[in-house]
Amino acid sequence: NTNATNYTKQPQAQSTPPRKKQRLANALDVLQEQRRQLPIAKGKEALVREIREHDVTVLLGETGSGKTTQIPQYLLEAGLADSGMIGITQPRKVAAISLAQRVSSEQGTPLGGLVGYAVRFDDVCGPDTRIRYMTDGMLTQELLGDPLLSRYKVIIVDEAHERTLRTDLLLANLKRILKARNGGTDGKGKRKEGNPLKVVIMSATLDAEKFSDFFYNAKIIYVKGRQHPVKIHHCVQGQTDYVDAAMRTFFQIHVDQPPGDVLIFLPGQEDIESLQKSIERLANQLPPNHSTVLVVPIYAALQTNATKAISIPAPRGVRKCILATNIAETSITIPGVRYVIDTGKSKENRFLTGSAGGGFETLLTRDITKSSAMQRAGRAGREGPGYCYRLYTEEAFTAMAPTAEPEILRCNLTQSILQLLCLGQDIQELDLMDAPDVDTVSSALRTLFILGALDSHRELTPIGRKMAAFPLNPVHARALIASKEHACTAEVLDIISVLEASSTLFVDVADKRTAIADARRKFIHPAGDHLTVLNASRAYQAVGGSDEDEKVDKISRSARKEWALAHFVNERTLREAASIRKQLQQRCDREGIDWRVSCGEREEPVLLSLAYGLSQNTALITPDGSYKQTIGQAVVKIHPSSSMADVKVPAIMYDELVYTNQIYARGVSSINKSFFATIGALNRREA
Ligand code: ADP
Ligand code: MG
């Protein structure tokens, strides 16, 4: 078998000096020994046999048993993907990247060689790549170019229990693909010649039956884990400030308890960043007889290179404190954890459809589910007996919902419906595990119609097809397409690259708003936040004198850092935006949009292009100074962080509504009322 030799090939070997070679070989031995010790290793032959015999297999196993890292390697070794690829999906980008890193080092090959990853705007795979870790969103996007996913021999849908929207859409499509490529999903159908597909569904929780039922009673395999007992403590009283409670609990552990790393679950990035600061500050004030604390954050917006820090063990005498979102519940295994602190909170996005159309997305901090709480506690018992400190009462635990609602029942479906339409699929006729709500579907269809992606017969327009070619929020895709006609693609591309980044550009600290406003005055644009973003992004690109990311040398890199700090902007966002922009430029080339075309200092073309996308997100001023939506009934206020917060203009467009004690519009620009007529008429004409 030629693949067996491929499998152990080490490309670095020839050019590496002997000492280093020896070190690498030793490291590889250690990794191989770790692999052999995993609970899943004992069942390897049986697992491979089952997967070989069935078209669809559901694999259930405790977190840390070795499913995600080992199964793809086993299947490759066993020759199940000869002349094709193994794709393995993850709900989160950070997990896909970090797992690919791990598995490529287990293989002793560089990342992007035998093992690679693909996430939105970042594809690290090469001609030799056979195991491809990817987000579920990437694979659904791939369907557009290759509806049968024919370059994959095996598709592993991992973390299926999370039931993300993309995972659900993927499962529905896999069922269709199995029919086309295998002639059935049960292995009993008439075998088609050529290119059969294998599907493995993996989950860490006890919901295998549902997946098995969906795939005509697919075979279920259980992998026994190695879970040690975890002692759970509940709070006697509910906590109002969970960040502060987490900090106090951490120091109690740190001061009183034996060595062992601490994993703290928090809802999101802001809480993680603020807790990191306070733990680091207090740890510095401890008397020297206490061990050092090393704080390591994990959340979705983390830079690629920062994910490595997660798995590096703390040196002797150092206690690692990992601050994570629910990404550490089941997707990423963190070695060394003995104590878990669970705030009981997570962020959940939810799309609220308005009664009169419109509707908005919310990202709210909510109580977690029982299933999450149990997973979180379990993270303390991977390597030995552990402790879990819940910052909520036992009654609160009992009152939790058993499992989370599938995302398809609570998310905005606009982008997915557009993708499905490109595949000729109607979401309401698709064979889904759970069918979405009628209101959510009609709200998405209405949005697509207003954007000009659909005509009045619900048929996809050429604009709609073009929009789907960009892996963007449809609102941004529409603005990008409009920018061609209005000759301002350079500007619009700069703006949407920032808006598509995973964190916001402007740092907002409520008690520093005056200082922030002073520092930013230079690039505040009178027309509002979008052009302010453009100014800031361009000012940043000009620091160091080059806008090509790779060419930025060390000096200008630190100059950029300083510049960002001084102006209260997130440098991370700008760096991510630069890479998004580069990817989008390539897309534009393919779609015949010249991204170099600029409108210079003129602002109307840019605002008009953006308004094509944001036409649903518009509001008119009312006599009392608040704004009323043009579509929908809500009265919105401009968010205090906006450059438009203190000015009154006749009409605004905004990126999003955030719902706190009232409804705030964020990312606001002033628009000329005459735009409404233009946009409405044009959209209808083009539709
Ligand atoms: P599962 O998918 O069953 O939860 P994984 O395959 O993700 O299990 O992990 C198996 C083991 O591999 C973990 O217990 C851990 O020891 C090791 N591992 C996984 N990812 C990493 C990593 N990034 N760094 C170090 N070790 C890792
Ligand atoms: Mg896993």
Indicate which residue's Cα is closest to atom 7 of ligand 1.
Answer: 68
Cα four-point dihedral sign 322, 328, 334, 338:
positive
User: Minimal CA–CA distance to 566: which of 523, 615, 620?
Assistant: 523
* Ligand 1 center to 64 CA (angstroms): 6
Indicate which residue's Cα is closest to atom 18 of ligand 1.
Answer: 333
Contact 421, 647 (CB under 8 A): no
Local confidence band at 10 (pLDDT 50, 70, 90 cut-offs)? very low
Per residue in 556-579, pLDDT (tens digit) is 788 888 998 888 888 889 988 999
Ligand 1 binding pocket includes 497 (Cβ within 6 Å): no
Q: What is the pLDDT of residue 42?
A: 92
Which residues in 155-165 are b (16+ Cβ under 10 Å) and which e?
bbbbbbbbbbb
- Model pTM score: 0.89
Label the pairing between strands 627-629 and 635-638: antiparallel
Contact 153, 82 (CB under 8 A): yes
Ligand 1 pocket mutation, candidates 38, 69, 320, 376, criterion most atoms within 8 A of CB: 69
Per residue in 633-664, pLDDT (tens digit) is 789 999 988 889 989 999 999 998 887 778 89
User: Tokens 């490309």 appear where?
Assistant: 11
Q: Which atom of ligand 1 is nearest to the CA of 202?
A: 2
Contact 108, 24 (CB under 8 A): yes
Ligand 1 binding pocket includes 65 (Cβ within 6 Å): yes
Local confidence band at 11 (pLDDT 50, 70, 90 cut-offs)? very low
Question: Is residue 413 classed as helix, strand or coil in its secondary structure?
Answer: coil
Local confidence band at 156 (pLDDT 50, 70, 90 cut-offs)? very high
What angle separates helix 269-284 from helix 242-256, to the nearest 10 degrees? 40
Ligand 1 binding pocket includes 129 (Cβ within 6 Å): no
Ligand 1 binding pocket includes 67 (Cβ within 6 Å): yes
* Tokens matching residue 238: 């509910």
Mean pLDDT, residues 269-284 taken together: 93
Q: Tell me what the pLDDT averaged over the chain comes to.
A: 89
Ligand 1 pocket mutation, candidates 156, 261, 263, 333, criterion most atoms within 8 A of CB: 333
Ligand 1 binding pocket includes 104 (Cβ within 6 Å): no
% of the chain at pLDDT higher than 90: 66
Label the pairing between strands 360-367 and 345-352: antiparallel
Quick check: 368 pLDDT over 80?
A: yes
Mean pLDDT, residues 93-106 taken together: 94
Contact 96, 135 (CB under 8 A): yes
Ligand whose nearest atom lies closest to the CA of 72 = 1
Q: What is the pLDDT of residue 191?
A: 57
What's at 684, amino acid-wise? R
Per residue in 398-447, pLDDT (tens digit) is 999 999 899 999 999 999 999 999 999 999 999 999 999 999 999 999 99
* Ligand 2 center to 332 CA (angstroms): 7
Ligand 1 binding pocket includes 570 (Cβ within 6 Å): no
Tally of CA atoms within 13 A in the half-sphere of 2 that contains its CB: 2
Q: Which atom of ligand 1 is nearest to the CA of 330?
A: 4
User: Minimal CA–CA distance to 65: which of 521, 381, 475, 449?
Assistant: 381
Q: What is the pLDDT of residue 631?
A: 81
Mean pLDDT, residues 473-479 taken together: 96
Q: What is the pLDDT of residue 8?
A: 36
State the Rg of the chain over Cα: 26
How big is the CA angle at 478 (ends 352 and 631), to the nearest 5 degrees?
40
User: Minimal CA–CA distance to 273: which of 300, 309, 297?
Assistant: 297
Quick check: 304 pLDDT over 70?
A: no
Residue predicted with more confidence, 30 or 111: 111
Contact 654, 665 (CB under 8 A): yes
Displacement of CA 643 from its chain's centroid (Å): 28
Lowest mean pLDDT among 470-479, 613-622, 657-666: 657-666
User: Tokens 């979102």 appear where?
Assistant: 325
Indicate which residue's Cα is closest to atom 17 of ligand 1.
Answer: 333
Local confidence band at 356 (pLDDT 50, 70, 90 cut-offs)? very low
Ligand whose nearest atom lies closest to the CA of 102 = 1
Ligand 1 binding pocket includes 205 (Cβ within 6 Å): no
Quick check: 547 pLDDT over 70?
A: no
Q: What is the pLDDT of residue 253?
A: 96
Contact 60, 206 (CB under 8 A): yes
Instruction: Please count the other Cβ atoms lying within 10 Å of the Cβ belonging to residue 59.
Output: 25
Contact 506, 666 (CB under 8 A): no
- Helix or strand holding residue 57 (H, E): strand 56-61
Ligand 1 binding pocket includes 63 (Cβ within 6 Å): yes
Ligand 1 binding pocket includes 66 (Cβ within 6 Å): yes
* Ligand 1 center to 274 CA (angstroms): 28
What's at 339, amino acid-wise? Y
* Ligand 1 center to 336 CA (angstroms): 12
* Ligand 1 center to 313 CA (angstroms): 13
- Start-to-end CA span in the chain (Å): 55
Ligand 1 binding pocket includes 667 (Cβ within 6 Å): no
Indicate which residue's Cα is closest to atom 12 of ligand 1.
Answer: 66
CA distance 78 to 45: 9
Lowest mean pLDDT among 10-14, 315-319, 446-450, 558-562: 10-14
